[in-house]
Chains A and B, each alone.
Chain A
Amino acid sequence: MIEKEKLVNIVGAGNVSDDQATLDAYSRDISFITAMKPSCVVKAANADQIQNIMKLANETRTPLVPVSSGPPHFRGDTVPGIGGAVVVDLSGMKKIILVDRPRRVAMVEPGVTFGELIPAAEKEGLRLNMPLLPRQSKSVVGSILEREPVIMPKYQWDISDPLACTGIFFGSGDEFRTGQAAGPGTIEEQWAVGGLQKAPYGPGTASWHRLIQGAQGTMGLVTWASMRCELLPSLEEPFVVGSAKIGTLLDLTSWLIRLRMVNECFILNNTNLAAIFAEKWPADYQALKDALPEWILFYTVAGYEFKPEDRVNAYLKDITDLTQRLGMEPAKAVGGLSANEILKAVRKTSREPYWKLRGKGACQDVFFLTINDQVQGQIETMDELADRSGYAISDMGAYIQPIVQGTSCHCEFNLFYDPRNSREVERVQELTISATRGLMARGAFFSRPYGETAGMILNRDAASVAVLGKFKKIFDPNNIMNPGKVCF
């Protein structure tokens, strides 16, 4: 265990907390993860401090738990998995290092939130390919490292997008820069010749960034990340298509993405859309939900610098051919909710309180990857399991996000519940487990294993886990980085 004094020497007294209230706050989150108090919480401000903390942690075999976002946390990955851990809170590292329009790249420290980066990018005519309505305290770097699904599948060429490069201290304490950032030269020297840290592969033939993403902080501590940005369109036309049949929406989605005609593109059920847009609870929520069809596809057609109206018109013509063939009618509004309103909302973070918490105060997400033509079956399975557990299907949110240019779909069920109601808590906890098991049996791929279900997810692929174990020994030989998470 690291002596408190040594930590104070590194970060200053005001940045080391071991009072009960602080420890309590970091010992649990909204998920069902077993609570575990850290020994203290350290707020780091820069790479030097981080490196020194890690040196100490290695010397004393003290577990470190990295945290980049502010609360509330949902996944359990920021709660220590083992006693005696030091939480390294990077949420105060708020430097937006650069936003570069010509190379379409931004570079930020871990504490920068979407709310902070979005306007900075907009100033340069850029935007992020971001997740759906992240909470205000959500770290951009955190989101990207978690491989959170993004709402513009057209611009996600690879599942690691929008991540470009990272600066990391591996668990061993060694500094490493992934991708183009690795070198030659320091970052500043690269900038001096016009190099921006954009290309993600390498150094060498490995793609080291892939080892860091999805690792839940078990490989090291990231001190900055660069990410590709997209252009702000000159013209945007958002649309919605409502249907009781998700199958037809999925067909349309598949073609819209395949033909690269749309930017934002996702499907929400009425529960979720109502949860996002209801102003007053419960009256507005119920009225909106009742007015909406069961499933709503949202997409945007955009034009950029060159004759955007012509670009958009050409797309709209082709989309009309498509929708006519499929027997659908895109609209500018559905259930009284305008597509423009939706677009406006999804370009930003969720307003407070976070939309998933507004209804009942808590939410457990069950999410996985699947493919377009299996989504309907997975939904049916989830409905069945929810029903069996006594969870009202009509209360469950659903979010279907095509990713990686349509090669797969992020499928997410949002189980809203009242955390003060022990019966609801128990029900949702059990449903999370039974749903994970049941959906896996139907081919769902839980690529991001969190919390109580992580074990059963990873048990399905012992061979990959064995290899990951070898990597872990290399990059974090003393197992100080977030022990107990993923398969470590």
Chain B
Amino acid sequence: MALSKEIYAAFQDVVGEENICDDPVIMPSYHSTEHAAVILPGNTAEVQAIVRLCNKYKLKMRAVCTGWTGMFPPGIVYLDLRRMNRIIEINEKNMYAVVEPYVITAQLQAELMKRGLHMNVKGAGANCAAMLRGHGHLDQTTSGDDRNHLAIEWVTPEGNIVKSGSLGSSDEWFCGDGPGPSLRAILTSAVPPGVTPGVFTKAALKIYHWPGPKQFPVQGVSPDYSLSEIPKNMMARYYSFPSVEKMWQAEIRLGENEIAFELMGFNVAMVAANIAKNNEEEEVLFKKLSQEVQGPGFFVILAGNSAADFEYKKMALEQIVKDAGGKSLKSIEDPRTEGIIMCQCVRISASIRETFRPGGAFSSIPVMGQRDLTIRWAVGAGKAKMPLIEKGLIVDDGGGFFGWGVEQGHLGKTEIFCKFDPQNPEAKAAVEAWSKEQSARAFNERYFAVLMGPVDQMGPGLSNFHLWWKKIQQAIDPNGISPEAGALV
């Protein structure tokens, strides 16, 4: 579905010859899809011009950052936002940073840490867009999802530039809401379905205090990094508990007492994956750690703003864990392991090792919401993994699930996935079936709705949100140029 010469030339006039390509040879690297063209805009004005051309020529477009995930129909105009990679502002006093789409988390976080600040690092990894709406290991103290966005600059599907909140009224980035109702209701980006049509060209993000070092003292050579010392007033531990109930008891108590900087409910398979430097090591380590844990658990990072603060938090952590019958995993107590996992969890979120390394694919059911409720569902979903593990169709992780606290336990995230070889059709089919069954169970038993499935079927049970969303899409995108957008990842 190539663009005509005339249309190609029109886009080329906007971005220059070097920044547009429709050669089939590049398409395998763009999700193996035959796009009409891949275009690299350099700034908001170019994005606007491109969107207007899409309207003029009735072309569909999608905007993508690093593009880790995403499925695209053929024939779209694919906006690769790589050239839009500036940090616009870091406002330390007022705790926000403003970025373009292709600033990756690792870059922004490094700049913030130099200034005694940091940000939410999404589970997708520090290799992904900083402005991504997402959730991650640090949600306990840095919130998640759409709650970290302030003002957003948005090129609408009609090619208008809309700036939310204080940005539209006062050219300031600190507030994304108003005047009146907030456009942030729909200015949200995530894995489809339901991604906001149009393109986000800049976003302001809430940032947080960082009591740690300006840079983690990483030493060694890849992949065997370690810290030369554990940063002052910081500590990392993994605790396992005799049961899910006990684990939850400790988790919520830590949240209510505001103890943990990070509370990440890894299962032991993920702990092994994060520590191990290769697949074989991971397998061995998983078996070893499985013997050492007594049940489900979580990983905690403490970060004291001062020695006094750290001492209190340490005392609280140890007592709360003890009260719930928790046991510390010795491997993490080793400062060498403690240090690098601490650094990894803060700076990367470590997700590539956890997910893709073994088989090249994983199928996940994530849910943000009420943690104690979603844990209950996840226990069942984990049990349902066991037959697939026994048949060797998915990586053996003990049927584990994971999750973490959000905003000191007010909210939470639970996720469960299957790691498998996508080239194995039997494994692929089994995982798909598992995912379907567990999603249906979540819905039918009233836990939550997994919206990566048939939205038209689920929508009526969810206030017909899908119909309202369609109306909004139609209203802001009358020419239908920006339907189900690509992931802003």
Contacts and interface: CB of A to CB of B under 8 A. Distances in A.
Interface of A: 102-104, 147, 157-160, 174-178, 180, 182-185, 189-190, 192-196, 198-199, 201-216, 218-219, 228, 231, 254, 258-261, 304-307, 310-311, 313-315, 317-318, 321, 369-373, 404-408, 440, 443-449, 457-458, 460-461, 463-464, 466-468, 470-471, 473-475, 486-487
Nearest to A311: B312
Interface in B304-321: 305-306, 308-309, 311-312, 315-316, 319-320
B461 A207 contact: no
Contact of A463 (B162, B407, B472): B162
B202 interface: no
Contact of B258 (A185, A192, A254, A304): A304
Contact of A183 (B308, B316, B370, B461): B461
Interface residues of B, number: 95
B174 A407 contact: yes
Contact of B373 (A183, A194, A313, A467): A194
Given A102-B252, A310-B315, A371 B172 contact: yes
A407 B96 contact: yes
A482 to B, nearest CB: 12
A447 B372 contact: no
Interface in B7-62: none
Interface in B165-193: 165-166, 168-172, 174-186, 188-190, 193
Contact of B372 (A102, A185, A471, A486): A102
B447 interface: yes
Nearest to A231: B256
Interface stretch (B383-391, B421-429, B463-471): B463-471
B469 A157 contact: no
B449 interface: yes
B184 A467 contact: no
Contacts of B163: 461, 463-464
Given A193-B447, A201-B368, A463-B160, A318 B463 contact: no
Nearest to B186: A206
Contacts of B180: 214-216, 218, 448-449, 458, 468, 486-487
B468 A307 contact: no
A407 B149 CA distance: 11
B462 A448 contact: no
A203 B465 CA distance: 6
B203 to A, nearest CB: 13
Nearest to B204: A407
B257 interface: yes
Contacts of A199: 368-370, 411
A77 to B, nearest CB: 11
A4 B461 CA distance: 35
Given A159-B177, A208-B185, A317 B446 contact: no
Nearest to A469: B475
Contacts of B188: 205-207
Nearest to A255: B209
Interface string B444-470: 111111010001001001111110110
A69 B395 CA distance: 57
Given A407-B150, A443-B171, 12 more contacts: A182-B462, A184-B444, A184-B449, A201-B145, A204-B469, A205-B133, A318-B308, A370-B174, A371-B174, A440-B170, A447-B175, A474-B472
Contacts of A216: 180
B253 interface: yes
A213 B182 contact: yes
A254 B311 CA distance: 24
